[in-house]
Amino acid sequence: MIDVRLLREDPEAVAAALARRGVARAEVERVVALDALARQRLRAQEALRAQVKELSRQVREARGAGDSDAAEALVARSRELGHQEKAAAAEAEDAQGALRDALLLLPNLPSEETPDGDGPEDNVVVRRWWPGMEAGAPPPEYGPHQRVPHWEVGQELGILDLERGARLSGSMFPLYRRAGARLIRALSAYALEHHADAYEEIRPPTLVLTDTMTATGHLPRFADEGYHVERDDLWAIPTAEVPLTSLYRGEILDEADLPMRFCAVTACFRREAGAAGRDTRGLLRTHEFDKVELMAYATAEQAPAVHADITSRAEALLQDLGLHYRVVELCAGDLSGAAARTVDLEVYLPGVDRFWEVSSVSWYRDYQARRANIRYRPAAGGPPVLVHTLNGSALAWSRIWPALVETGRQPDGSVRLPDCLAPYLGGETVIRRP
């Protein structure tokens, strides 16, 4: 959530910043009013509480002095004030709850880098990359053998079995076979090793508490997007960002340890409630997919460099894999709620002829850290400071898989995979018909 003090001191600036992402001014004003009410009620309650405590002290003194009549009179007054204090406390709590609910629903302020815009159509393509570009090669020409959608290639080669996946779990739950299954495993191993120099490998749980989902901003706003296990009140994570961000929830870190960087591969679960019927062919949009995620805690000063590092690591993988991609700066209207800035990497899929998001590198400033209460103690002294959180996929395999299969398809129908995966594929970089 955003800083309520900033809202209090400069509501105009907050309203202006949030207007860039479509939040009505009235909503900001409502939160400001809730804050004023909550503070007024807190003061009232604390004043009563102070009187009760003072009377309690006097009771003890009167008893000590052996004056039980005076003590009884004080007890009676204190009891009366105690009832008032209880009522005042309930009112204060109501107001604070309303304020918190409202604050949790306010999205983050967009960063300076973030361009204006209402939706995906206003995002800005920053650059493109394709194999051989540095050597002056023109953008790739794709042959007819590459213009085959991955679901057809997958069926042809017996490495993707969407029908049987649907039999087990319903549509949009993919099932990979043979070299297709091994490819996912190879990609995960390859990426984790690539990041191992600077990012600690974590294997987190994939079912998490409501608090864990709330810390990253996935709840309460996006409850419809999450799979929820009612019986145990647990949520299936939509991304490893969720458990990684909460790793140090409620803790105070040492500045010397920052930035702290983590890497995890997990299954990710998304209901895709708002996208029913869209992009349903093949692997374009699935309810479950594997993804390697990079996540970092940093100081405000370190954050831009960490954002750049995560982006360049994701790009390095794409380049290693020989995939054609572009880098997109998201506009204010297309940012997810918690993000201040997001850069998407979109890979080109020749078989379906479109760029498709495979990584989303985001900087949250202290928005998530405030929800999660993650701070660091400044080396120079002074009170603890909220960390900045950042994360990015590197990468989402359910979209890299199609890109590799379509890009690598050869005229004879076999698929050639990039050499960098050879060590993880037992040297078998060509997938042929069974």
Partner RNA sequence: GGAGGGAUGGCAGAGCGGACGAUUGCGCGGCUCUUGAAAAGCCGUGGGACUUCGGUUCCCGUGGGUUCGAAUCCCACUCCCUCCGCCA
Contact residues: RNA, CB under 7 A? 4-5, 39, 42-43, 46-47, 49-50, 52-57, 59-61, 63, 75, 78-79, 82, 252, 375, 377, 383-384
Q: From the centroid of its chain, how far is CA 58?
A: 54
Taking a C-beta distance cutoff of 8 angstroms, is the pair 111, 335 a contact?
A: no
Nearer to RNA, 113 or 251 (CB): 251
CB of 14 to RNA, least distance (A): 16
Least Å from the CB of residue 375 to RNA = 7
**CA-atom Rg of the chain in angstroms:** 27
Helices (H), 65-142: 68-105
Which residue number, 196 or 379, has a Cβ lying nearer to RNA? 379
C-beta of 81 vs 422, nearer to RNA:
81
- Distance of closest approach, residue 284 Cβ to RNA, in angstroms: 33
Give SS3 for 337.
coil
Q: State in angstroms the smallest separation of the CB of 236 from RNA.
A: 17
Residue among 93, 5, 82, 79 at smallest CA distance from 42: 93
In the bound state with RNA, the residue whose beta carbon lies nearer, of 42 and 192, is 42
Q: Are the C-beta atoms of residues 393 and 358 closer than 8 Å to each other?
A: yes
The b-or-e profile of 349-386 (16+ CB within 10 A means b, else e) is bbbbeebbebbbbbbbbbbbbbbbebbbeeeeeeeebb
Report which of 263, 318, 327 is spatially closest to residue 291, judged by C-alpha positions: 263
User: How far is residue 4's CA from residue 1's CA, in Å, rounded to a whole number?
Assistant: 8
User: In 113-270, at which residue ranges do the beta strands (DSSP E only) sit?
Assistant: 124-129, 200-202, 207-208, 227-229, 234-236, 252-254, 260-269
In angstroms, the CA 297 to CA 261 distance is: 7
Q: How far is the CB of 204 from RNA (least distance, A)?
A: 15
145 is written with which tokens?
Answer: 């053998």
Residue 191 Cβ vs RNA, minimum distance, rounded to whole Å: 25
Q: How far is the CB of 384 from RNA (least distance, A)?
A: 5
Q: Which is nearer to RNA, 306 or 386 (CB)?
A: 386
CB nearer to RNA: give 27 or 54: 54
Q: Rounded to a whole number, what is the largest CA-CA distance in the chain? A: 104
Nearer to RNA, 382 or 411 (CB): 382
Compute the distance between CA of residue 264 and CA of residue 201 in angstroms, rounded to an integer. 6
Residue 83 phi/psi, 5-degree rounding, is: -65, -40
Q: How far is the CB of 11 from RNA (least distance, A)?
A: 15
Give buried/exposed letters for 298-332 (b at 16+ CB in 10 A, else e): bbeebbbebbebbbebbbebbbebbbbbbbbbbbb
The CB-of-24 to RNA minimum distance in angstroms stands at: 24
Nearest approach, Cβ of 39 to RNA (angstroms)? 5
Closer CB to RNA, 175 or 209, in the complex: 209
Displacement of CA 98 from its chain's centroid (Å): 24
The residue (of 37 and 166) whose beta carbon lies closer to RNA is 37
